[in-house]
Amino acid sequence: MTTACKGFLDEQFLQLEELQDDANPNFVEEVVTLYYRDSARLILNIEQALERNPLDFNKLDSLMHQFKGSSSSIGAKKVKAECTLFREYCRAGNGEGCIRTFQQLKKEYATLKKKLEAYFQLARQVGPAETACRPK
Amino acid sequence: MKLIFPPRDFQLGQAMEPPIASSNSSGHGGNSSSGRGPMHFGGPSQNPSNGYFSVVNRNRPTALLLDGDRIYRMVQKGILQHYGVDTQNVDNGTAAINVLMGNSFNLIVIDINLPDMDGPEITRQMRAMGVGSKIVGTTSCWCERDRQAFLNAGADEFFEKPLSSETLLIILTELDGGYEA
């Protein structure tokens, strides 16, 4: 994990890197690519749900539960934190809180995507051993 | 940390020269590199006709992972297999029941939210079928109410996803037969 990614990713990302081997040399990038592909649909669903009046907080909570699960699977620390906050607002029935948090979530999501793209580009240039963080 | 398991080509029920004095009372051996003999699950049993001990050896431990999220299934399966657990994924409760009709697993991991039914409900159905596997309920957001629902339905444990290495080690160590790291 490069310095640029620190704070945005947690130890789960390191676990993913541990799974990379000769048989699965691009495992992390494949998982992350799938994550951004699948979660784009979830984000759209949440956006549409946030446009409804009145808000269906159960539906929003359920969608965010799923999104949090995916995000935590790749170690997306800040995205996960916003998911948790969003769900708290859902439980409180606070629509404005949900909308505000969702905007922040999308920012963190986009920022992480850029950082990961740069990370994988670097990994391709120097090789995975140089960029992965190996526990001592 | 790697968990050591017997090689895939080890024959089930393969007889071994008696006795293996270094085996402990629970029948667990060590890994071959320590000189204590191959690791196995279950205890040795003696054949009365020839006095030879047979090691009832299961293959690598198995797990069934039920989760509606493709990313989580991919990651968790990878991690479980990294720890030497042969893992099968399904994405809904009905598919899980069908798989369990003809297969058994040491471990079943079930998410609280499945597309066709919730985790506690599928747990209840599995126990009603007589499934005796260790069942672990999971959620992406820990909640006492969900924990109680899973335990009341017959699950053994409940954790927030993703399962950390430490949590996985605890779960796998508690499986029948035990593990050596």
**pTM over 0.80, yes/no:** no
A24: nearest CA partner in chain B: B78
Distance to chain B for A124, nearest Cα, Å: 21
Domain ranges of chain A: 11-121
Residue B47's pLDDT band (cuts 50, 70, 90): low
pLDDT at res. B52:
44
Average pLDDT over residues B141-145: 91
pLDDT (tens digit per residue) in B17-27? 333 333 333 33
Q: Identify the pLDDT of residue B28.
A: 36
Residue in chain A lying closest to B141 (CA): A65
What was the ipTM of the complex prediction?
0.84
Query: Span A69-86, mean pLDDT?
Result: 96
Choose, out of A14, A15, A16, A60, the residue to mutate when testing the contact with B (most B CBs < 10 Å): A15
A vs B, Cβ pairs < 8 A, gives: 61
Average pLDDT over chain B reads 75
- Range A43-61 burial, b when 16+ CB lie within 10 A, else e: bebbeebbeeeebebeebb
Quick one: pLDDT at residue B178? 52
The 3-state DSSP class for residue A125 equals: helix
Indicate if the pLDDT at residue B41 is higher than 50. Answer: no
Q: How far is B177 from chain A (nearest CA, A)?
A: 25
CATH number of A11-121: 1.20.120.160
How far is Cα B17 from Cα B29, in angstroms, rounded to an integer?
14
